């Protein structure tokens, strides 16, 4: 089903006019309402009236994750905090999380794009949807929830965990749609097998999976194991959360709702636009957001884009699955983790930073694990096993509470961690996600 045919299948000229009109308004809005953006534009010598159409977007400066960090918690907001209806946070690069706010109109926008996405995946009004994303500060659960409500689906908000109950409710309520991380659906399938239930007998026909990168090989595995059509949803909380882009049932890339989230693909080194089809960093401008609109936000996700009309009839552009990152962020069980966060936690132990390495792996039952190897140095070493075990627990607690995920910590001998050009390789990802 196409939720908003007028927009999703608009002719390209009309779409461009909408984008131009919105960008012109946005430039004025941020200049008048955000001190941070006014400063940014002044620095570049740009005034809002320089922006006359969407083609002028490249005149505007980029926004980086660091801008969000530096403005913690609310100073990048373009509206008084009183007008903010909801706040979410995601991982920051250090101790402070990244804060995003939504006015009521932003929440309405979010509901619309998430509804478009669920419909794009193959969902219809009246379908039952099991939402097995985390609810709370994480945008996954509530974003899909608002979208399902807008679409008119019947929501089963199971959230994550309690897998046996998830399976029972699926069997008893027979939802047609399931939404969660791709690794969690495979975990559910494993759990079904161990309970003696054939995952193919699941009631799910449509899967909406996202918030972590996954391959087409993994998609095939999910399709064949669970007998459903697995689709990829893209989103990041800085932009809105889930519902920025979504695969249709043809699964030839993710339709990005470009009337609201204007995409550019750039060379991450030079900042210059790349031609259609070439992989580069995805940059997004939120054309209509109120609380925290972002201009040319550097997502750090590497994708390519196509402007060809899709077989499904939608004319909006499509981005590829994420091919990689321009930074060292890793996603484990849907949670974004930066090595700098681990450093922040390790520094809390005794003020010095031991050498460390992150090993990300996936268990046979498709659960992601994060192991932190910490080199023991003379300052940390004591003669007693008990004291070393306590040190391990202390490190684990500090990291767990910083990244919001249970990690395992392993103490290793000095100089054993892989180094390249004298610098140690911080992250080893054994999952082959790209």
Binding site for another protein (CB under 8 A): 376-378, 381-385, 388-389, 410-416
The DSSP element (H or E) to which 283 belongs, if any, is: strand 280-286
Nearer to another protein by C-beta: 71 or 369?
369
Minimum distance from residue 388 beta carbon to another protein (Å): 7
Nearer to another protein by C-beta: 2 or 388?
388
The CA–CA distances, whole Å, from 280 to 253, 263, 268, 321, 349 equal: 15, 12, 7, 12, 38
- Give dist(CA 155, CA 219) in Å, integer: 24
Minimum distance from residue 319 beta carbon to another protein (Å): 42
Q: Among residues 368, 243, 298, 314, which one has the least CA distance to residue 65?
A: 298
Structure tokens belonging to residue 403: 């990244």
Nearer to another protein by C-beta: 13 or 413?
413
Q: Which residues contact 188 (CB under 8 A, 6 or more apart)?
A: 132, 163, 166, 167, 180, 199
- Give dist(CA 9, CA 4) in Å, integer: 8
Nearer to another protein by C-beta: 199 or 354?
354
Minimum distance from residue 359 beta carbon to another protein (Å): 13
Please name every residue paired with 252 in a beta bridge, in sequence order, or none if there are none: none
The CA–CA distances, whole Å, from 201 to 162, 167, 243, 331, 419 equal: 20, 11, 28, 30, 48
Minimum distance from residue 373 beta carbon to another protein (Å): 10
Nearer to another protein by C-beta: 276 or 389?
389
Nearer to another protein by C-beta: 172 or 413?
413
Nearer to another protein by C-beta: 250 or 381?
381
Minimum distance from residue 358 beta carbon to another protein (Å): 17
Minimum distance from residue 253 beta carbon to another protein (Å): 44
- Give dist(CA 40, CA 425) in Å, integer: 35
Q: Among residues 310, 318, 319, 320, which one has the least CA distance to residue 9?
A: 310
**Distance between first and last Cα of the chain:** 29
Minimum distance from residue 416 beta carbon to another protein (Å): 7
The CA–CA distances, whole Å, from 279 to 67, 319, 323 equal: 25, 10, 8
DSSP string across 229-269: EEEEEEEETTTTEEEEEEE-TT-SSEEE-TTTEEEEEE-TT
Nearer to another protein by C-beta: 53 or 382?
382
Nearer to another protein by C-beta: 164 or 379?
379
Peptide bond connecting 102 to the previous residue in cis, omega within 30 degrees of 0: no
Minimum distance from residue 399 beta carbon to another protein (Å): 17
Minimum distance from residue 222 beta carbon to another protein (Å): 34
Structure tokens belonging to residue 266: 């750039």
């Amino acid at each position: 089903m196409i939720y908003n045919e007028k927009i999703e299948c608009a002719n390209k000229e009309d779409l461009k006019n909408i984008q131009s009109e919105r960008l012109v308004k946005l430039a004025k809005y941020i200049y008048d309402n955000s001190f941070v953006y006014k400063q940014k534009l002044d620095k570049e010598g740009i005034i809002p009236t320089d922006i006359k159409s969407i083609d002028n977007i490249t005149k505007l400066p980029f926004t980086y994750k660091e801008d969000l960090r530096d403005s913690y918690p609310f100073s990048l907001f373009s509206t008084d905090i009183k007008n903010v209806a909801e706040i979410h946070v995601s991982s920051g690069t250090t101790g402070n999380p990244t804060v995003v706010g939504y006015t009521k109109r932003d929440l309405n926008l979010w509901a619309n794009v998430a509804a478009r996405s669920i419909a794009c995946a193959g969902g219809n009004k009246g379908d039952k949807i099991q939402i097995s994303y985390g609810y709370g500060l994480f945008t996954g659960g509530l974003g899909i929830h608002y979208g399902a409500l807008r679409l008119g689906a019947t929501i089963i908000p199971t959230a994550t965990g309690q897998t046996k109950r998830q399976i029972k409710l699926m069997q008893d309520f027979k939802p047609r749609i399931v939404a969660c991380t791709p690794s969690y659906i495979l975990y559910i399938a494993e759990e079904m097998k161990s309970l003696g239930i054939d995952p193919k007998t699941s009631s799910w026909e449509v899967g909406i999976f996202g918030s972590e990168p996954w391959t087409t090989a993994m998609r095939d595995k999910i399709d064949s194991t669970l007998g459903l059509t697995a689709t990829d949803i893209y989103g990041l909380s800085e932009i809105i959360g889930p519902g920025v882009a979504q695969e249709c049932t043809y699964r030839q890339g993710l339709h990005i709702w470009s009337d609201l989230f204007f995409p550019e693909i750039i060379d991450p080194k030079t900042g210059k636009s790349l031609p259609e089809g070439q992989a580069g960093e995805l940059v997004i401008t939120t054309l209509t957001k109120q609380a925290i609109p972002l201009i040319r936000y550097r997502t750090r996700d590497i994708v390519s884009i196509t402007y060809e009309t899709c077989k499904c009839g939608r004319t909006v552009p499509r981005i590829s699955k994420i091919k990689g990152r321009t930074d060292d962020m890793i996603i484990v069980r849907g949670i974004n983790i930066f090595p700098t966060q681990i450093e922040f936690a390790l520094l809390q132990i005794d003020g010095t930073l031991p050498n460390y390495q992150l090993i990300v792996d996936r268990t046979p039952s498709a659960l992601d694990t994060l192991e932190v190897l910490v080199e023991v140095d003379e300052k940390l070493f004591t003669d007693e096993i008990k004291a070393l075990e306590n040190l391990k627990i202390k490190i684990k607690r500090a990291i767990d509470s910083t990244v919001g995920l249970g990690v395992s910590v392993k103490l290793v001998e000095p100089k054993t961690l892989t180094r390249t050009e004298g610098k140690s390789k911080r992250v080893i990802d054994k999952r082959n996600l790209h």
